[in-house]
Amino acid sequence: SVRLVDVSARDGLQADPSFIATNTKLALLASLAHVGLSSLEATSFVSPKAVPQFVDAGELIHKANAYLVPSAAPSQPPFANPRRRLKRHASQLDRALHIVMPDDPFDSFEATNDAVIYCTQNKKPLFLGTPRTPAPLRFSALVPNERGLRSALGVGVRQVAVFASASDAFSLRNINCDVDSALRRYIDVARLAHANNVEVRGYISCAFRCPYSGQVAREAVLRVLRALLDDAHCYEVAIADTLGSAQPEEVEALVAFLVEEGGVPVDKIALHLHDTRGRALANARAAYMRGVRVFDGSIGGFGGCPFAPGAPGNVATEDLAWMFSELGVEIEGDVSWRELARIGAQFCEYTGRKNTARVFAAMRAEAGMDALRSTFVQECKRLSL
């Protein structure tokens, strides 16, 4: 089976010039959790001056933990007999957000207690049911330094991500230090995270090519990967084709080099792909054939790195799910690519983003936009007023 890590709320939005309302981001995360995704990268604790989109990072994580993570939610709902109370407030349901809801939310709530309901009364949350996800739901956040980590710890983040480049030129442009200095910083960040029982995931950007220095040597990728695994003790590291320029043969060769010559366990490697030249799915398949089982994606294929000129969106999560379904590969969480495509269509339509997912284009051509709509768009608008 494969595990899909959705990075829409972080990598997907980081380069966006317009701010997305916090509750809209929460709606996106809740939708993805409800259809079975359990690995969601929610935000980044960076300077708001550098990336204004994440000025609400603390608020978003606080809300996500409070209303979406069962273990972090209050043991008792905010009111007794929520079914009766929801009926009492039925007139307010036109001001509620129903995220990927069954047709009858009351029966579903009574029978399964898994309805995701974000009901508002005077703009305050009344109730949010448990998301349907078979694995523990964790929201991760990117942290660039110790200050960002401490901010993340303060709002209850239980998983963080650190990123290092395989290219000195990109590292200098992105975080104003070379690779070795960045690794020393992230090792210290990781130690502090582990001391607080927080898991750490790693990223290696520009693992194939750098927009400033060109081709990146495989040995450089291995050196960074080893530092993140052995010294920072990351539980897995995502190899990123930041420019979306890699060929399937290059992906296969790099994975083979890291595993066979570098001695890296393949279950420690994930793949983070951008779809600049339309080769991301072929690259994902090449990595899968070499044993990689974790793949990052972004709903609707939106995103991109603000520090990498020419790097457009990530590979669409729904496209990855479609491809693996076509290959007969089980997806952790029993995730449906059709459900993901609907979420992507709804979110992109509401926020005005271009949807580049291939399955979106196919479904729209076959059935029209009405088949891709649900209450998400209309209700999300109301919640975000």
Q: Give the separation between CA 153 and CA 65, rounded to whole angstroms.
A: 12
Mapping DSSP to helix (H, G, I), strand (E, B) and coil, where does residue 372 land? helix
Active-site choice (119, 210, 234, 305):
305
Q: Give the separation between CA 82 and CA 113, rounded to whole angstroms.
A: 11
DSSP E strand boundaries for the chain: 3-6, 39-44, 97-98, 117-118, 120-121, 124-125, 138-142, 159-165, 199-205, 209-210, 214-215, 236-241, 269-273, 294-297
What are the tokens at 98?
A: 């129903």
Report helix angle 337-351 to 22-34, nearest 10.
Answer: 170
Among candidates 162, 144, 148, 139, which has minimal Cα distance to 63? Answer: 139
Among candidates 224, 286, 230, 236, which has minimal Cα distance to 266? Answer: 236
Torsion of CA 242, 247, 250, 256, to 10 degrees: 90
Tokens 């290059």 sit on residue = 250
305 is catalytic: yes
Mapping DSSP to helix (H, G, I), strand (E, B) and coil, where does residue 379 land? helix
Among candidates 199, 168, 198, 173, which has minimal Cα distance to 183? Answer: 168
Mapping DSSP to helix (H, G, I), strand (E, B) and coil, where does residue 33 land? helix
Give me the DSSP letters along 117-132.
EE-EETTEE-------
Question: Which DSSP category does 263 fall into?
Answer: -
Alpha-carbon torsion 298, 335, 39, 21, what sign? positive
Alpha-carbon torsion 298, 311, 208, 360, what sign? positive
DSSP E strand boundaries for 234-315: 236-241, 269-273, 294-297
What type of residue sits at position 144?
A: P
Q: Which residues are catalytic?
A: 305
